[in-house]
Amino acid sequence: MRFNLTANKLAESRFLFDLKIRTIRAPVLPTVVGVVCAATRFEGMVCTQIQADGWDATDQLSQLLLAGKFLPQLHLILLDGICLGGFNVINLALLSQRLNRPCVALMRRMPNFEKIEAALKRLPQAEKRLEIMRQAGVIHPYPPFYFQVCGETPEVIAQVLARITDRGNVPEALRLAHLIGAAIIKGESGRQA
């Protein structure tokens, strides 16, 4: 399904919100933190917990957003990669369908699939995890961005990413989520988002 949004509508609308999901490893369960931004302005936060290397990331994110107050304002779901809490793989197409929004798994560089497959072999149902990753589609290289997308064209998403990135090569919502996540774990944010 495609939502036929324009880059201008996504990036310039005062009601544009991006949700950045950042996993924080804690002694019990990884906590997933979402930062909601209007363009590059911080608007709010959400959080939930998932199983490390589990199977519940897609369901937890869906429930978090469907039950919360931010979904009507969100035009784009921007994720920090396709996996949370280790290898808890997000079904990007299912998440997009459930939320009725384009969903993007953003990466800083092209993944090393040999290393990913080697790591997955240590977990149960490695092939199923790989298949969910593959179902998210091709990784689109639009340097400095690499991403998988469901619900919108790669060209529109590349334009949106450029517009919502005002420092370095990381969209502001992701940058804020990294800083907040580091502060929760270490007591203070780091230098690099």
Predicted pLDDT at 174: 87
Mean pLDDT of the chain: 85
Whole-number pLDDT of residue 63? 96
pLDDT in tens, 36-46: 988 888 889 98
Please report the domains of the chain, with CATH numbers, ordered by start residue: 7-186 (3.30.2170.10)
For a pLDDT cut of 70, what percent of the chain falls above it?
A: 83
User: Cβ–Cβ contacts within 10 Å for residue 1, how many?
Assistant: 11
Structure confidence by residue, pLDDT tens digits, 114-136 = 999 999 999 999 999 999 999 99
- How do residues 69-109 score in pLDDT, each as one tens digit? 999 989 999 999 999 989 999 999 999 999 999 999 999 99
Work out whether the CA dihedral 135, 68, 71, 31 comes out positive or negative: negative
Would you say 105 and 151 are in contact if contact means Cβ atoms under 8 Å apart?
A: no
pLDDT category at 15 given cuts 50, 70, 90 is very low
Rounded to whole angstroms, the Cα distance separating 193 from 181 reads 10
DSSP string over 79-142: EESSEETTTEE--HHHHHHHHTS-EEEEESS---HHHHHHHHTTSTTHHHHHHHHHHT-PPEEE
| Residue 12: predicted pLDDT | 44
Could you tell me the two tokens for 73? 């304002």
Question: Are 161 and 171 in contact, with CB atoms under 8 Å apart?
Answer: yes
- pLDDT of 128 reads 96
pLDDT in tens, 133-186: 999 999 999 999 999 999 999 999 999 999 999 878 889 888 888 788 777 767
Answer with the residue of higher pLDDT: 46 or 4: 46
Q: How many CA atoms lie within 13 A of 166 on its CB side?
A: 9
